[in-house]
Structure 1
Amino acid sequence: MVRIYSRLNGWSLPPNPLQIFAWVIIVYLATLVYVVLIPVLRVHAVKVALYAVMIVLRRLT
């Protein structure tokens, strides 16, 4: 089988179905942390610290 296109990097179109699946999983897990995991914590300082860490990590990506 001969490829018509050549991928330059992981962001080259068209995306592979596994890439799409991976992004869906990443969004799901990030939402789960923000909505379920962090609010369940009882110590307010820990909540604030975890929200800050998640915001910084999100800005870096």
Structure 2
Amino acid sequence: MSYTVNVIEEKCVGCSICSRICPTGTLKINKETKKAYNSGVYCDNAWGCLYACPTKALEIVEVR
């Protein structure tokens, strides 16, 4: 099984902590909405973003 991070957009405040801490660049900030999104780049499952998010806007999901 493989896992990645999903952004719960309603909870994201666009602080960019997740995108700055992500070692692979999986999480990016949308310039228009100012919200984080999963760019589709390989996630190495470090989960630093998950623990750093102040609003708990990230969740682990299985890649199918």
Query: Could you say which structure has the higher helix fraction?
Result: 1
State TM-score, norm by structure 2.
Answer: 0.25
Query: Could you say which structure has the higher strand fraction?
Result: 2
State TM-score, norm by structure 1.
Answer: 0.25
Relative contact order (alpha carbons < 8 A, sep ≥ 6): 1 or 2 greater?
2
